[in-house]
Amino acid sequence: MAFAIEFFLRRISQGVVIVILVAFVIFTLLRIVPGDPIRIILGPMASATALEEKATELGLRDPIYVQFGRFMGQVTTGDFGRSFIRGAQGGSAGGSQDAVGYNPESRASVSALIANALPYSLQLAALGIAFAFLVAIPIGLGAGLRAGKWPDRLGLYVSSLFVSLPNIWVGVVLIFLLSAKTGWLPAIGYQGFAYTIIPAMVLAIELSPVMIRAISVSVAANLGEVYFDVGLVRGLSRRTMVAKHVLRNAAVPLLNLFGAQMIGMLLGGLFVVEYIFSYPGIGMLTINAVFQRDFPIIQAVAILASAALVAINMLVDFASTTIDRRLKF
């Protein structure tokens, strides 16, 4: 118990520092890249004096650390600012008003935009991971338990095949086969759960090869450990040894892989897949924001992504140290 409290106190405080540093770097980079945000807010028609006036009013001429402090103050209350472009009622408003007509209240709040998009992305990610597990766990286990036999080769072939398919191409082919040609599943946009299935399959094909390899290597390595052999001589059955000991030990490297690599791959995958399928999640929101130079959205997504990575890694490490008490944190 004491261990859990200390673990979380330590890791949460480290995590907060990491997220603040990431936030500062992103915030600064977005403000030193060419292009004045006020020009994006007000559009090309606004006059120079109007720009300056409005920029000073919005605090955009303050030193970066002042702006950052103000921003972080808002973030702690859950307010990530307002979009430069998107209207509160939806749709883009950028460039259509002059200085007098601009009212920050008319723009959509970033937190609301993210809160709207997040459930869609979580649903897609969860289904993608579930599909990946469905493929990778049986194939990976088979390959690990029967090293050198046909299941091992099957694992190798499947993972080699999947790893060499570009996700954009897979997306297009699946849309063609499962939607356009056969009409089994809907593909573009979102009007119900069925719209998540094809994008999730694309994600799963991207995630599963790494999982298959990791599971088979980890399981095979544990079968080679002394404790496995000794367990059989001690009078335990192979089935018990695999179910109770090999899988448990094999889980530790898999958890670490999941925290360190899979979440990153998943985030990257979401952006591409959501864009291909016009799926209204965080990825789509971010890509549009990048095209429109809508900095508040970009920085909010980046900060949330780093916070999610930190949190997931913390949980993964906690699970690992709970399984294997030898691990230090």
Partner 1 sequence: MSASLATKTASANNPQASVAPVMEVRGLSVVVSTAAGERSILSDIDLTVAPRSVLGIIGESGSGKTVLSRAMVNWLKPPLAITRGSVRYDGRDLLTLPAATMAGLRGREIAYIGANPTSALDPTVPVGHQILEKLRAVAPELSPQAARQRVIDTLDAVRIPSPKQRFDEYPFQFSGGMMQRAMIVDALVSNPKLLIADNITQPLDVTVAAQILRLLRDLQKDFDTSIVFVSSSLGIVSEIADDMIVLDRGHIVERQSVTGLLATPEHVYTKELIAKVPKIWATAEAPPEPSSDTVVLDVRDVDKTYRVRDRKAIFAERQVRAVRGVSFTVRRGENFGIIGESGCGKSTLSRLLSCLEQPDAGEIQFEGRDIATLKGRDLLGLRRRFQLLLQDPYNAIAAHASIGRTIAEPLLIHGLGNRREIEQKVKDVMAEVGLAPTLYNQLPIGLSAGQRQRVNIARALVLEPELLILDETLSSLDQVEQAKLLDLFETLQVKRGITYVYISHDLAMVRRVCARIAVMYLGRIVELADNDTMYWRSAHPYTRALLSAVPTVEAKPYRTGTYLLEGEPPDPIDIPPGCSFRTRCPFAFDRCATDDPSQTIYADGNASACHLPRNSLPAPELAH
How far is Cα 320 from Cα 14, in angstroms, rounded to an integer?
Answer: 18
Tokens encoding 291:
């095209």
| Integer Cα distance of 182 and 119 in angstroms | 29
* One-letter amino acid of 317: D
- Contact pattern from residue 7 through residue 26 relative to partner 1, giving x for each residue in contact according to CB under 8 A and a dash for the rest: --x-----------------
Segment near partner 1 (CB under 8 A); pick from 4-12, 48-56, 62-70, 123-131:
4-12
Q: Which of 225, 264, 308, 315 binds partner 1 (CB under 8 A)?
A: 225
User: 3-class DSSP state for residue 249?
Assistant: helix
Task: Name the one range near partner 1 by CB under 8 A: 32-40, 72-80, 210-218, 247-255.
Answer: 247-255
Q: Which stretch binds partner 1 (CB under 8 A): 1-9, 92-100, 111-119, 270-278?
A: 1-9
| CA nearest to 81, candidates 32, 39, 41 | 41
> To the nearest whole angstrom, how small is the minimum distance from the Cβ of residue 239 to partner 1?
11
For the chain, strand residue ranges (E) read 82-87, 107-109
Neighbour-count burial of 289, counting CB atoms closer than 10 A to its CB (0-12 exposed, 13-18 middle, 19+ buried)? buried
Q: Which is nearer to partner 1, 17 or 230 (CB)?
A: 230
Q: Which of 245, 179, 188, 247 is nearest to 219 (CA)?
A: 247
Closer to partner 1 by CB, 61 or 244: give it: 244
3-state SS, residue 55: helix
Identity of the residue, 62 or 317, whose beta carbon is nearer to partner 1 in the bound complex: 317
- Does position 126 interact with partner 1 (CB under 8 A)? The reply is no
Binding piece for partner 1, criterion CB under 8 A, among 21-29, 39-47, 102-110, 235-243: 235-243
Binding site for partner 1 (CB under 8 A): 2-3, 5-6, 9, 225-227, 230-237, 240, 244-245, 248-249, 252, 323-326, 328
